[in-house]
Amino acid sequence: MDSNAYVIYTNCAILTVHATTKSDGTKSMDASGLKIEVIESFPTVDSLSLDDNRLTGISDGEMSAAVTSISLRNNSISSLQTFSLNDAMIYIDLSDNTIPKLSSWEMPANLQSFRCQSCDISVIGGVLFPSSMSLATLDLSGSNVNGFEVSNSSVDLLENVDDLVVTTTGGNCSDSRTKPTIVRSMYLCVLSDELFNQKYFVSGSDSNTDQNYNNPAEDDGGGGGGLSNWMMFATKN
């Protein structure tokens, strides 16, 4: 039997979302356009669409290890520091979210595709790309990146991305320790791996993470006869 997920509203209305099973046995679920703001737990599916909701982030431990493809287009995500995904993830689409800065974020180890089209990205710094060389698509179309700071080991990774759509403007590096480098028409500011890790402390650091999304109920004005903005996406065995 297919997995079900439940969107629970504060007026106690419950909407059931059904998963579908494809011919190859994988399961997918489309929970788009349901005004979801909070995810309590994820369904056990391979592919999940949460487009056109109101999510601001995904907390560590919320993501099911079964989910390998996720689409979060047109939500309220403004920082990847509120974003934690499992290492099994191979496809991520964050397009149409306004994310001015991609910083201090480690991509899943086996990620193959990362799309963030029309995200208004102006700065990239402290992003760790998959060392497995698995990344085949990096699509940041619609953004003009003013600063793109990477580690030395990331240069080869970016050179080998098959579908690369990144527009950079200018070649000035704000950190004097970086080495300006042009790779596939991109202006990069390259730090040694040691300096890069010292500067960004990507692994294990949550000091700059905005956790305000964890308690949206406190921001709920209370009551109201209709559906409130606060919702919960939960699963049931």
Residue 62 buriedness (CB in 10 A; 0-12 / 13-18 / 19+): middle
Q: What would the two tokens of residue 113 be?
A: 């595709």
Residue 213's pLDDT band (boundaries 50, 70, 90)? very low
Residue 234: the pLDDT is 43
Residue 233: the pLDDT is 55
Q: pTM of the prediction?
A: 0.83
Under 8 Å between Cβ of 220 and 229: yes
Q: What would the two tokens of residue 23 be?
A: 């011919």
Residue 54: the pLDDT is 92
Q: What is the DSSP letter of 121?
A: -
Q: What is the mean pLDDT of residues 139-156?
A: 96
* Rounded Cα gap, residues 116 and 188, in angstroms: 19
Q: What is the mean pLDDT of residues 19-39?
A: 92
| Chain centre to alpha carbon of residue 222 | 30
Residue with tokens 């102006």: 122
* Rounded Cα gap, residues 206 and 218, in angstroms: 22
CB under 8 Å, gap of 24 or more: what pairs does 19-26 form? 19/43, 19/45
Under 8 Å between Cβ of 36 and 62: no
Q: 114, 172, 170, 180: which is closest to 150 by C-alpha?
A: 180
- How confident is the model over 156-211, as pLDDT tens digits? 999 999 999 999 997 779 999 999 999 999 999 999 999 999 998 744 444 343 33
Residue 157: phi and psi, rounded to 5, are -60, -45
In three-state secondary structure terms, 42 is coil
Residue 49: the pLDDT is 96
